Structure 1
Protein backbone atom coordinates (compact mmCIF):
# COMPACT_ATOMS: atom_id res chain seq x y z
CA UNK A 1 0.00 0.00 0.00
CA UNK A 2 1.24 3.48 -0.81
CA UNK A 3 1.83 5.87 2.06
CA UNK A 4 1.58 9.06 -0.04
CA UNK A 5 -0.60 10.44 -2.82
CA UNK A 6 0.65 10.09 -6.39
CA UNK A 7 0.74 13.76 -7.46
CA UNK A 8 1.52 15.83 -4.37
CA UNK A 9 3.15 13.13 -2.21
CA UNK A 10 0.74 14.02 0.60
CA UNK A 11 0.97 11.60 3.51
CA UNK A 12 -1.91 9.15 3.71
CA UNK A 13 -3.49 7.91 6.92
CA UNK A 14 -3.32 4.19 7.60
CA UNK A 15 -5.69 2.05 9.59
CA UNK A 16 -4.55 1.80 13.18
CA UNK A 17 -1.92 4.50 12.69
CA UNK A 18 -0.87 6.23 15.90
CA UNK A 19 -0.82 10.03 15.92
CA UNK A 20 -2.78 10.38 12.69
CA UNK A 21 -2.95 14.12 13.28
CA UNK A 22 0.75 14.42 12.38
CA UNK A 23 0.23 12.99 8.88
CA UNK A 24 -3.00 14.94 8.48
CA UNK A 25 -1.39 18.25 9.50
CA UNK A 26 1.59 17.61 7.20
CA UNK A 27 -0.78 17.05 4.29
CA UNK A 28 -2.62 20.29 5.10
CA UNK A 29 0.67 22.23 5.28
CA UNK A 30 1.69 20.95 1.84
CA UNK A 31 -1.72 21.73 0.36
CA UNK A 32 -1.43 25.25 1.76
CA UNK A 33 1.76 25.68 -0.27
CA UNK A 34 0.57 24.03 -3.49
CA UNK A 35 -3.04 25.14 -3.94
CA UNK A 36 -3.36 28.59 -5.52
CA UNK A 37 0.38 29.08 -4.93
CA UNK A 38 1.66 32.58 -4.23
CA UNK A 39 5.43 33.07 -4.14
CA UNK A 40 7.66 35.92 -3.02
CA UNK A 41 10.14 35.32 -5.84
CA UNK A 42 10.83 33.09 -8.78
CA UNK A 43 13.70 30.68 -8.98
CA UNK A 44 16.14 31.69 -6.26
CA UNK A 45 18.86 29.59 -4.67
CA UNK A 46 19.21 31.21 -1.25
CA UNK A 47 16.51 30.75 1.40
CA UNK A 48 15.49 34.00 3.10
CA UNK A 49 16.95 34.70 6.54
CA UNK A 50 13.65 35.50 8.28
CA UNK A 51 10.71 34.16 6.27
CA UNK A 52 7.15 34.92 7.32
CA UNK A 53 4.94 31.96 8.15
CA UNK A 54 3.11 30.91 5.00
CA UNK A 55 5.53 32.66 2.62
CA UNK A 56 6.69 30.60 -0.38
CA UNK A 57 9.45 30.72 -2.99
CA UNK A 58 10.34 28.84 -6.15
CA UNK A 59 13.68 27.14 -5.49
CA UNK A 60 16.36 27.75 -8.14
CA UNK A 61 18.61 25.25 -9.92
CA UNK A 62 21.53 25.47 -7.45
CA UNK A 63 19.91 25.74 -4.02
CA UNK A 64 21.95 26.49 -0.91
CA UNK A 65 21.53 26.15 2.83
CA UNK A 66 18.24 24.58 3.94
CA UNK A 67 17.17 24.25 0.31
CA UNK A 68 20.01 21.96 -0.86
CA UNK A 69 18.56 19.09 -2.88
CA UNK A 70 15.24 20.85 -3.49
CA UNK A 71 15.90 22.41 -6.94
CA UNK A 72 12.77 23.47 -8.86
CA UNK A 73 10.40 22.82 -5.97
CA UNK A 74 8.09 25.27 -4.24
CA UNK A 75 9.38 25.96 -0.73
CA UNK A 76 7.06 27.16 2.00
CA UNK A 77 7.94 28.27 5.54
CA UNK A 78 5.54 26.84 8.12
CA UNK A 79 7.05 28.24 11.30
CA UNK A 80 8.37 24.81 12.27
CA UNK A 81 10.51 24.47 9.16
CA UNK A 82 10.56 24.33 5.40
CA UNK A 83 8.12 22.21 3.45
CA UNK A 84 8.73 21.43 -0.21
CA UNK A 85 6.22 20.57 -2.92
CA UNK A 86 7.31 18.97 -6.18
CA UNK A 87 5.44 20.82 -8.96
CA UNK A 88 4.44 19.28 -12.28
CA UNK A 89 4.67 20.91 -15.74
CA UNK A 90 1.70 23.23 -16.19
CA UNK A 91 1.57 24.35 -12.56
CA UNK A 92 1.38 28.07 -11.96
CA UNK A 93 2.38 30.30 -9.06
CA UNK A 94 1.54 33.98 -8.66
CA UNK A 95 4.57 36.19 -7.95
CA UNK A 96 3.33 38.61 -5.30
CA UNK A 97 6.21 41.04 -5.84
CA UNK A 98 6.45 41.09 -9.67
CA UNK A 99 2.66 40.67 -9.99
CA UNK A 100 3.08 38.12 -12.77
CA UNK A 101 2.46 34.42 -13.12
CA UNK A 102 5.21 31.80 -13.08
CA UNK A 103 4.46 28.62 -15.06
CA UNK A 104 6.45 25.41 -14.97
CA UNK A 105 7.24 24.04 -18.43
CA UNK A 106 9.31 21.03 -19.44
CA UNK A 107 12.23 23.49 -19.76
CA UNK A 108 11.76 25.00 -16.28
CA UNK A 109 9.94 27.93 -14.66
CA UNK A 110 9.07 30.92 -16.87
CA UNK A 111 7.44 34.21 -15.90
CA UNK A 112 5.33 36.64 -17.88
CA UNK A 113 4.87 34.44 -20.95
CA UNK A 114 1.33 33.93 -22.19
CA UNK A 115 0.85 30.91 -24.41
CA UNK A 116 -2.39 30.62 -26.33
CA UNK A 117 -3.75 29.81 -29.74
CA UNK A 118 -6.05 32.82 -29.72
CA UNK A 119 -7.33 35.66 -27.54
CA UNK A 120 -11.07 36.02 -27.24
CA UNK A 121 -12.90 38.98 -25.68
CA UNK A 122 -16.66 38.85 -25.31
CA UNK A 123 -16.96 35.75 -27.50
CA UNK A 124 -15.07 37.52 -30.29
CA UNK A 125 -11.62 36.44 -31.35
CA UNK A 126 -9.36 39.49 -31.36
CA UNK A 127 -5.98 37.81 -31.86
CA UNK A 128 -5.36 34.47 -33.50
CA UNK A 129 -2.52 32.51 -34.99
CA UNK A 130 0.13 34.38 -36.97
CA UNK A 131 -0.98 34.97 -40.54
CA UNK A 132 1.17 34.90 -43.71
CA UNK A 133 3.34 37.84 -44.69
CA UNK A 134 1.74 40.85 -46.40
CA UNK A 135 3.98 42.50 -48.96
CA UNK A 136 4.79 46.19 -48.74
CA UNK A 137 2.87 48.34 -51.23
CA UNK A 138 4.67 48.78 -54.55
CA UNK A 139 3.73 50.07 -57.97
CA UNK A 140 0.21 51.06 -58.96
CA UNK A 141 -0.99 53.78 -61.27
CA UNK A 142 -1.36 56.48 -58.60
CA UNK A 143 1.36 57.01 -56.05
CA UNK A 144 0.27 58.53 -52.76
CA UNK A 145 3.33 58.86 -50.53
CA UNK A 146 1.42 59.59 -47.30
CA UNK A 147 -0.96 56.64 -47.73
CA UNK A 148 1.92 54.35 -48.61
CA UNK A 149 3.90 55.52 -45.56
CA UNK A 150 0.89 54.99 -43.25
CA UNK A 151 0.27 51.52 -44.64
CA UNK A 152 3.96 50.65 -44.28
CA UNK A 153 3.82 51.70 -40.59
CA UNK A 154 0.73 49.52 -40.01
CA UNK A 155 2.43 46.53 -41.64
CA UNK A 156 5.64 47.15 -39.68
CA UNK A 157 3.71 47.29 -36.40
CA UNK A 158 1.86 44.05 -37.19
CA UNK A 159 5.23 42.39 -37.93
CA UNK A 160 6.80 43.72 -34.71
CA UNK A 161 3.88 42.36 -32.68
CA UNK A 162 4.27 39.00 -34.41
CA UNK A 163 0.78 39.05 -35.91
CA UNK A 164 2.04 38.55 -39.46
CA UNK A 165 5.25 37.03 -40.79
CA UNK A 166 8.12 39.42 -41.52
Structure 2
Protein backbone atom coordinates (compact mmCIF):
# COMPACT_ATOMS: atom_id res chain seq x y z
CA UNK A 1 0.00 0.00 0.00
CA UNK A 2 1.27 3.52 -0.87
CA UNK A 3 1.93 5.95 1.97
CA UNK A 4 0.31 8.79 -0.07
CA UNK A 5 -3.20 9.29 -1.46
CA UNK A 6 -3.25 9.22 -5.29
CA UNK A 7 -4.50 12.79 -6.02
CA UNK A 8 -3.75 15.14 -3.14
CA UNK A 9 -0.73 13.06 -2.03
CA UNK A 10 -1.87 13.18 1.57
CA UNK A 11 0.14 11.14 4.06
CA UNK A 12 -1.54 7.86 5.05
CA UNK A 13 -1.24 5.84 8.25
CA UNK A 14 0.36 2.45 7.80
CA UNK A 15 -0.14 -0.66 9.87
CA UNK A 16 1.60 -0.58 13.28
CA UNK A 17 2.90 2.94 12.54
CA UNK A 18 4.15 4.90 15.51
CA UNK A 19 3.78 8.69 15.86
CA UNK A 20 0.39 8.65 14.24
CA UNK A 21 -0.35 12.28 15.13
CA UNK A 22 2.62 13.45 13.06
CA UNK A 23 1.37 11.70 9.94
CA UNK A 24 -2.17 12.88 10.54
CA UNK A 25 -1.06 16.50 11.03
CA UNK A 26 1.00 16.36 7.85
CA UNK A 27 -2.03 15.22 5.89
CA UNK A 28 -4.14 18.00 7.37
CA UNK A 29 -1.49 20.59 6.43
CA UNK A 30 -1.46 19.42 2.82
CA UNK A 31 -5.23 19.38 2.69
CA UNK A 32 -5.32 22.88 4.16
CA UNK A 33 -2.89 24.08 1.50
CA UNK A 34 -4.65 22.64 -1.58
CA UNK A 35 -8.35 22.55 -0.75
CA UNK A 36 -10.08 25.72 -2.04
CA UNK A 37 -6.63 27.02 -2.90
CA UNK A 38 -6.27 30.78 -2.55
CA UNK A 39 -3.21 32.28 -4.27
CA UNK A 40 -1.71 35.64 -3.33
CA UNK A 41 0.19 35.71 -6.64
CA UNK A 42 0.38 33.87 -9.96
CA UNK A 43 3.69 33.08 -11.70
CA UNK A 44 5.71 34.91 -9.04
CA UNK A 45 9.50 34.39 -9.02
CA UNK A 46 10.53 36.29 -5.86
CA UNK A 47 9.32 35.07 -2.44
CA UNK A 48 7.73 37.69 -0.18
CA UNK A 49 9.98 39.11 2.55
CA UNK A 50 7.61 38.43 5.45
CA UNK A 51 5.20 35.61 4.64
CA UNK A 52 2.42 34.53 6.98
CA UNK A 53 1.42 30.95 7.64
CA UNK A 54 -1.22 30.00 5.12
CA UNK A 55 0.10 32.25 2.35
CA UNK A 56 0.22 30.47 -1.02
CA UNK A 57 1.72 31.45 -4.39
CA UNK A 58 2.04 29.89 -7.84
CA UNK A 59 5.73 30.18 -8.71
CA UNK A 60 6.93 31.33 -12.12
CA UNK A 61 9.44 29.87 -14.54
CA UNK A 62 12.55 31.32 -12.83
CA UNK A 63 11.98 31.33 -9.05
CA UNK A 64 14.74 32.62 -6.76
CA UNK A 65 15.70 32.61 -3.07
CA UNK A 66 13.80 30.08 -1.00
CA UNK A 67 11.84 29.08 -4.10
CA UNK A 68 14.89 28.29 -6.25
CA UNK A 69 14.42 25.04 -8.15
CA UNK A 70 10.64 24.93 -7.70
CA UNK A 71 9.34 26.35 -10.98
CA UNK A 72 5.57 26.30 -11.52
CA UNK A 73 4.86 24.80 -8.07
CA UNK A 74 2.42 25.74 -5.35
CA UNK A 75 4.50 27.45 -2.62
CA UNK A 76 2.72 27.25 0.75
CA UNK A 77 3.97 28.86 3.97
CA UNK A 78 3.65 26.77 7.16
CA UNK A 79 5.47 27.31 10.44
CA UNK A 80 7.53 30.07 8.79
CA UNK A 81 8.89 27.73 6.08
CA UNK A 82 7.88 27.00 2.51
CA UNK A 83 6.40 23.73 1.35
CA UNK A 84 5.97 22.96 -2.34
CA UNK A 85 3.25 20.98 -4.10
CA UNK A 86 3.05 19.88 -7.74
CA UNK A 87 -0.21 20.91 -9.50
CA UNK A 88 -2.41 18.06 -10.73
CA UNK A 89 -5.21 17.92 -13.31
CA UNK A 90 -8.39 19.51 -12.01
CA UNK A 91 -6.71 21.63 -9.31
CA UNK A 92 -8.57 24.92 -8.97
CA UNK A 93 -7.44 28.16 -7.38
CA UNK A 94 -8.62 31.71 -6.79
CA UNK A 95 -6.01 34.42 -7.50
CA UNK A 96 -6.57 37.35 -5.14
CA UNK A 97 -4.80 40.22 -7.01
CA UNK A 98 -6.61 39.60 -10.32
CA UNK A 99 -9.81 37.94 -9.01
CA UNK A 100 -9.10 35.19 -11.54
CA UNK A 101 -10.42 31.66 -11.09
CA UNK A 102 -7.91 29.30 -12.68
CA UNK A 103 -7.87 25.55 -13.30
CA UNK A 104 -4.92 23.26 -14.13
CA UNK A 105 -4.98 20.73 -16.99
CA UNK A 106 -2.04 19.01 -18.67
CA UNK A 107 0.52 21.60 -17.73
CA UNK A 108 -1.64 24.66 -18.52
CA UNK A 109 -3.45 27.00 -16.13
CA UNK A 110 -6.64 28.36 -17.73
CA UNK A 111 -8.44 31.44 -16.44
CA UNK A 112 -12.14 30.59 -16.35
CA UNK A 113 -13.04 34.24 -15.89
CA UNK A 114 -11.39 35.05 -19.22
CA UNK A 115 -13.43 32.35 -20.93
CA UNK A 116 -16.74 33.83 -19.79
CA UNK A 117 -15.74 37.49 -19.66
CA UNK A 118 -16.81 39.93 -22.36
CA UNK A 119 -13.37 41.57 -22.36
CA UNK A 120 -11.85 41.59 -25.84
CA UNK A 121 -8.17 40.80 -26.39
CA UNK A 122 -6.32 42.04 -29.49
CA UNK A 123 -3.81 39.95 -31.40
CA UNK A 124 -2.00 40.73 -34.65
CA UNK A 125 -2.78 38.84 -37.83
CA UNK A 126 -0.14 36.37 -39.02
CA UNK A 127 0.13 33.18 -41.03
CA UNK A 128 -0.56 31.25 -37.83
CA UNK A 129 -2.81 33.37 -35.65
CA UNK A 130 -3.04 31.39 -32.39
CA UNK A 131 -6.49 32.05 -30.91
CA UNK A 132 -5.74 30.02 -27.77
CA UNK A 133 -2.71 32.17 -26.92
CA UNK A 134 -4.95 35.22 -26.56
CA UNK A 135 -6.52 33.61 -23.47
CA UNK A 136 -9.88 35.28 -24.05
CA UNK A 137 -13.26 34.25 -25.39
CA UNK A 138 -13.56 37.48 -27.42
CA UNK A 139 -10.69 38.36 -29.74
CA UNK A 140 -9.97 41.24 -32.10
CA UNK A 141 -7.56 40.48 -34.94
CA UNK A 142 -5.68 43.53 -36.21
CA UNK A 143 -3.54 43.95 -39.32
CA UNK A 144 -3.89 42.74 -42.91
CA UNK A 145 -1.61 39.67 -43.02
CA UNK A 146 -3.10 36.56 -44.60
CA UNK A 147 -4.18 33.95 -42.03
CA UNK A 148 -3.79 30.25 -42.86
CA UNK A 149 -4.15 28.77 -39.35
CA UNK A 150 -5.72 29.51 -35.96
CA UNK A 151 -3.23 27.27 -34.14
CA UNK A 152 -3.74 23.73 -32.84
CA UNK A 153 -5.48 24.17 -29.47
CA UNK A 154 -8.15 21.50 -28.97
CA UNK A 155 -11.80 21.95 -28.01
CA UNK A 156 -11.81 25.75 -27.90
CA UNK A 157 -14.45 28.33 -28.76
CA UNK A 158 -13.65 31.89 -29.88
CA UNK A 159 -15.61 34.94 -31.07
CA UNK A 160 -13.38 36.83 -33.50
CA UNK A 161 -13.80 40.42 -34.72
CA UNK A 162 -11.68 41.55 -37.67
CA UNK A 163 -10.41 45.12 -37.37
CA UNK A 164 -9.25 45.34 -40.99
CA UNK A 165 -9.54 43.59 -44.31
CA UNK A 166 -7.41 40.46 -44.71
CA UNK A 167 -7.52 37.09 -46.45
CA UNK A 168 -8.70 34.12 -44.38
CA UNK A 169 -7.52 30.97 -46.14
CA UNK A 170 -9.83 27.96 -46.26
CA UNK A 171 -8.28 24.59 -45.45
CA UNK A 172 -10.46 21.50 -45.76
CA UNK A 173 -8.79 19.93 -42.71
CA UNK A 174 -7.43 22.53 -40.30
CA UNK A 175 -9.39 25.75 -41.02
CA UNK A 176 -12.78 24.92 -42.52
CA UNK A 177 -14.70 28.03 -43.61
CA UNK A 178 -18.38 28.25 -44.49
CA UNK A 179 -18.89 27.77 -48.20
CA UNK A 180 -15.63 25.86 -48.53
CA UNK A 181 -13.68 28.83 -49.92
CA UNK A 182 -11.31 31.52 -48.69
CA UNK A 183 -12.77 34.91 -47.82
CA UNK A 184 -11.63 38.52 -47.64
CA UNK A 185 -12.74 40.09 -44.38
CA UNK A 186 -13.92 43.66 -43.91
CA UNK A 187 -13.48 45.92 -40.90
CA UNK A 188 -16.05 44.99 -38.29
CA UNK A 189 -16.83 41.48 -39.58
CA UNK A 190 -17.36 38.88 -36.83
CA UNK A 191 -16.82 35.12 -36.98
CA UNK A 192 -17.52 32.27 -34.54
CA UNK A 193 -14.86 29.52 -34.53
CA UNK A 194 -14.52 26.22 -32.65
CA UNK A 195 -11.76 23.61 -32.63
CA UNK A 196 -12.19 19.85 -32.34
CA UNK A 197 -10.24 17.35 -30.25
CA UNK A 198 -7.45 17.35 -32.86
CA UNK A 199 -7.06 21.12 -32.85
CA UNK A 200 -8.72 21.64 -36.24
CA UNK A 201 -10.79 24.83 -36.42
CA UNK A 202 -14.18 25.20 -38.06
CA UNK A 203 -16.15 28.36 -38.80
CA UNK A 204 -19.60 28.06 -37.20
CA UNK A 205 -21.00 31.44 -38.23
CA UNK A 206 -19.88 34.60 -40.01
CA UNK A 207 -21.52 38.03 -39.91
CA UNK A 208 -20.67 40.86 -42.29
CA UNK A 209 -20.45 44.40 -40.93
CA UNK A 210 -21.72 45.93 -44.19
CA UNK A 211 -25.49 46.41 -44.37
CA UNK A 212 -25.85 44.76 -47.79
CA UNK A 213 -23.01 42.26 -47.57
CA UNK A 214 -25.19 39.18 -47.85
CA UNK A 215 -23.48 36.04 -49.00
CA UNK A 216 -25.15 32.65 -49.34
CA UNK A 217 -21.96 30.89 -48.29
CA UNK A 218 -21.75 32.77 -44.99
CA UNK A 219 -25.48 32.49 -44.23
CA UNK A 220 -25.50 36.12 -43.11
CA UNK A 221 -26.53 39.55 -44.36
CA UNK A 222 -29.12 40.44 -46.98
CA UNK A 223 -28.62 38.75 -50.32
CA UNK A 224 -28.90 41.16 -53.25
CA UNK A 225 -27.75 41.14 -56.85
CA UNK A 226 -25.19 43.81 -55.90
CA UNK A 227 -23.28 41.58 -53.48
CA UNK A 228 -23.59 38.27 -55.30
CA UNK A 229 -21.46 36.72 -58.02
CA UNK A 230 -23.95 34.55 -59.87
CA UNK A 231 -23.06 31.61 -62.08
CA UNK A 232 -24.13 31.69 -65.73
CA UNK A 233 -26.78 30.52 -66.26
CA UNK A 234 -28.17 30.86 -62.76
CA UNK A 235 -31.92 30.67 -63.42
CA UNK A 236 -33.96 28.35 -65.59
CA UNK A 237 -37.62 29.07 -66.20
CA UNK A 238 -39.42 31.93 -64.46
CA UNK A 239 -37.36 34.42 -62.43
CA UNK A 240 -39.53 35.70 -59.57
CA UNK A 241 -38.41 38.73 -57.56
CA UNK A 242 -40.11 38.94 -54.18
CA UNK A 243 -38.95 42.54 -53.76
CA UNK A 244 -40.26 43.50 -57.19
CA UNK A 245 -37.14 45.41 -58.27
CA UNK A 246 -33.93 45.01 -60.25
CA UNK A 247 -31.32 47.67 -59.69
CA UNK A 248 -28.67 48.84 -62.18
CA UNK A 249 -25.64 51.02 -61.31
CA UNK A 250 -25.87 54.76 -61.98
CA UNK A 251 -23.00 54.48 -64.49
CA UNK A 252 -23.64 51.86 -67.16
CA UNK A 253 -21.25 48.91 -67.32
CA UNK A 254 -21.54 48.10 -71.01
CA UNK A 255 -21.52 44.44 -72.05
CA UNK A 256 -20.19 43.23 -75.43
CA UNK A 257 -22.73 40.40 -75.32
CA UNK A 258 -25.74 41.19 -77.51
CA UNK A 259 -27.95 39.05 -75.27
CA UNK A 260 -27.06 40.76 -72.01
CA UNK A 261 -29.20 43.57 -70.58
CA UNK A 262 -26.75 46.01 -69.01
CA UNK A 263 -28.70 49.23 -68.42
CA UNK A 264 -32.03 50.74 -67.42
CA UNK A 265 -32.50 54.44 -66.85
CA UNK A 266 -35.27 57.04 -66.64
CA UNK A 267 -34.77 60.81 -66.76
CA UNK A 268 -35.66 64.17 -68.23
CA UNK A 269 -34.07 66.27 -70.97
CA UNK A 270 -34.49 69.79 -72.33
CA UNK A 271 -35.40 69.93 -76.03
CA UNK A 272 -34.48 72.95 -78.13
CA UNK A 273 -35.55 73.96 -81.65
CA UNK A 274 -32.85 75.37 -83.90
CA UNK A 275 -32.08 75.80 -87.55
CA UNK A 276 -29.12 74.56 -89.55
CA UNK A 277 -28.16 78.23 -89.89
CA UNK A 278 -29.08 79.68 -86.48
CA UNK A 279 -31.77 82.34 -86.33
CA UNK A 280 -31.17 85.48 -84.30
CA UNK A 281 -33.70 85.86 -81.47
CA UNK A 282 -35.35 82.45 -81.88
CA UNK A 283 -36.74 81.08 -78.62
CA UNK A 284 -38.73 78.22 -77.13
CA UNK A 285 -41.67 79.36 -75.06
CA UNK A 286 -42.38 75.91 -73.61
CA UNK A 287 -40.12 72.85 -73.89
CA UNK A 288 -39.86 69.67 -71.87
CA UNK A 289 -38.82 66.08 -72.43
CA UNK A 290 -38.43 62.71 -70.70
CA UNK A 291 -36.79 59.44 -71.66
CA UNK A 292 -36.46 55.75 -70.82
CA UNK A 293 -33.36 53.79 -71.80
CA UNK A 294 -33.40 49.97 -71.81
CA UNK A 295 -30.06 48.59 -72.87
CA UNK A 296 -29.34 50.34 -76.20
CA UNK A 297 -32.98 51.24 -76.91
CA UNK A 298 -34.05 54.80 -76.05
CA UNK A 299 -37.61 56.08 -75.97
CA UNK A 300 -37.89 59.90 -75.82
CA UNK A 301 -40.87 62.18 -75.38
CA UNK A 302 -40.84 65.91 -75.90
CA UNK A 303 -43.08 68.86 -76.36
CA UNK A 304 -42.12 72.27 -77.79
CA UNK A 305 -44.08 75.47 -78.36
CA UNK A 306 -42.18 78.15 -80.23
CA UNK A 307 -42.07 81.60 -78.67
CA UNK A 308 -40.25 83.35 -81.52
CA UNK A 309 -38.82 82.11 -84.80
CA UNK A 310 -36.31 84.94 -84.81
CA UNK A 311 -34.72 86.35 -87.94
CA UNK A 312 -32.08 85.11 -90.32
CA UNK A 313 -32.54 81.43 -89.72
CA UNK A 314 -32.40 79.04 -92.66
CA UNK A 315 -31.92 75.42 -93.51
CA UNK A 316 -33.42 72.35 -91.89
CA UNK A 317 -35.31 72.46 -88.59
CA UNK A 318 -33.53 70.57 -85.86
CA UNK A 319 -34.59 69.39 -82.38
CA UNK A 320 -31.49 69.33 -80.16
CA UNK A 321 -30.59 68.17 -76.68
CA UNK A 322 -31.31 64.45 -77.02
CA UNK A 323 -30.13 62.59 -73.88
CA UNK A 324 -28.08 60.03 -75.89
CA UNK A 325 -26.44 60.03 -79.29
CA UNK A 326 -27.87 57.90 -82.08
CA UNK A 327 -25.93 55.05 -83.63
CA UNK A 328 -26.35 54.50 -87.35
CA UNK A 329 -24.18 53.90 -90.36
CA UNK A 330 -25.90 56.19 -92.85
CA UNK A 331 -26.50 59.92 -92.84
CA UNK A 332 -29.81 59.57 -90.96
CA UNK A 333 -31.69 56.90 -89.07
CA UNK A 334 -35.44 57.17 -88.89
CA UNK A 335 -36.95 57.26 -85.42
CA UNK A 336 -40.22 55.35 -85.09
CA UNK A 337 -43.00 57.70 -84.02
CA UNK A 338 -45.59 56.17 -81.69
CA UNK A 339 -47.63 59.25 -80.89
CA UNK A 340 -47.32 62.75 -82.23
CA UNK A 341 -49.04 66.07 -82.68
CA UNK A 342 -47.86 69.16 -84.47
CA UNK A 343 -49.14 72.28 -86.10
CA UNK A 344 -48.70 75.99 -86.61
CA UNK A 345 -46.51 75.69 -89.70
CA UNK A 346 -46.37 78.44 -92.29
CA UNK A 347 -47.78 75.93 -94.81
CA UNK A 348 -50.69 74.20 -93.01
CA UNK A 349 -50.93 71.38 -95.54
CA UNK A 350 -47.61 69.85 -94.47
CA UNK A 351 -48.82 69.27 -90.92
CA UNK A 352 -49.55 65.58 -91.41
CA UNK A 353 -46.44 64.91 -93.48
CA UNK A 354 -43.69 66.08 -91.12
CA UNK A 355 -41.40 63.42 -89.65
CA UNK A 356 -38.13 63.48 -87.77
CA UNK A 357 -34.92 61.62 -88.42
CA UNK A 358 -32.17 61.30 -85.81
CA UNK A 359 -28.91 62.46 -87.24
CA UNK A 360 -26.12 59.90 -87.34
CA UNK A 361 -23.87 59.80 -84.26
CA UNK A 362 -25.26 63.03 -82.87
CA UNK A 363 -27.74 64.23 -80.23
CA UNK A 364 -30.27 65.99 -82.48
CA UNK A 365 -33.02 65.03 -84.93
CA UNK A 366 -33.85 66.78 -88.19
CA UNK A 367 -37.31 67.50 -89.57
CA UNK A 368 -38.30 66.14 -92.98
CA UNK A 369 -41.46 66.54 -95.13
CA UNK A 370 -42.55 63.16 -96.40
CA UNK A 371 -44.26 62.78 -99.80
CA UNK A 372 -44.68 60.26 -102.58
CA UNK A 373 -41.44 61.36 -104.19
CA UNK A 374 -39.35 60.85 -101.02
CA UNK A 375 -38.71 63.56 -98.54
CA UNK A 376 -37.38 67.08 -98.34
CA UNK A 377 -36.04 69.08 -95.44
CA UNK A 378 -38.48 70.84 -93.13
CA UNK A 379 -37.15 74.36 -93.70
CA UNK A 380 -36.89 76.94 -90.95
CA UNK A 381 -39.18 79.20 -92.96
CA UNK A 382 -42.08 76.93 -91.94
CA UNK A 383 -41.55 77.79 -88.24
CA UNK A 384 -43.84 80.47 -86.85
CA UNK A 385 -44.60 81.76 -83.35
CA UNK A 386 -47.60 79.37 -83.43
CA UNK A 387 -45.59 76.19 -84.20
CA UNK A 388 -45.90 73.36 -81.71
CA UNK A 389 -44.39 69.88 -81.78
CA UNK A 390 -45.08 66.84 -79.61
CA UNK A 391 -43.42 63.52 -80.24
CA UNK A 392 -42.68 60.12 -78.76
CA UNK A 393 -40.05 58.16 -80.65
CA UNK A 394 -37.41 55.43 -80.42
CA UNK A 395 -33.80 55.18 -81.47
CA UNK A 396 -30.66 53.14 -80.63
CA UNK A 397 -27.45 54.23 -78.91
CA UNK A 398 -23.96 52.79 -79.51
CA UNK A 399 -24.08 51.00 -76.12
TM-score, normalised with respect to structure 2: 0.30
* Bigger Cα displacement from structure 2, 52-61 vs 86-95: 86-95
Structure 2 segments unaligned to the other structure (5+ residues): 117-154, 158-193, 195-202, 214-223, 226-244, 248-399
CA contact (8 A) 1:11 1:26 kept: yes
Please say which structure displays the higher CA radius of gyration.
2
Partners of 1:87 and 1:96 in 2: CA distance: 18
Higher helix share: 1
Deviation string for 1:7-52 (max 9, x for gaps)?
1221111122111111111111111111110010001122111111
Partner of 2:31: helix, strand, or coil?
A: helix
- Look up the match of 1:48: 48
Partner of 2:76: helix, strand, or coil?
A: strand
- Look up the match of 1:151: none
Given candidates 128, 132, 136, the residue that maps to 2:205 is: 132
- Look up the match of 1:104: 104
Deviation string for 1:67-88 (max 9, x for gaps)?
2232222111112422222211
Once the two structures are TM-superposed, the CA of residue 107 in structure 1 deviates from its matched residue by 4.5
Once the two structures are TM-superposed, the CA of residue 103 in structure 1 deviates from its matched residue by 2.4
CA contact (8 A) 1:47 1:64 kept: yes
Partners of 2:56 and 2:2 in 1: CA distance: 28
Once the two structures are TM-superposed, the CA of residue 55 in structure 1 deviates from its matched residue by 1.0
Partners of 1:105 and 1:142 in 2: CA distance: 57
CA contact (8 A) 1:43 1:58 kept: yes
Once the two structures are TM-superposed, the CA of residue 117 in structure 1 deviates from its matched residue by 7.8
CA contact (8 A) 1:43 1:109 kept: no
Deviation string for 1:55-107 (max 9, x for gaps)?
11011122222222322221111124222222113322101121111222335
- Look up the match of 1:124: none
Structure 1 segments unaligned to the other structure (5+ residues): 119-128, 144-166
Aligned residue pair count: 135
TM-score, normalised with respect to structure 1: 0.68
* Bigger Cα displacement from structure 2, 56-65 vs 132-141: 132-141
Q: What are the within-5 Å matches in structure 2 for residues 19-34 of structure 1? A: 19-34=19-34
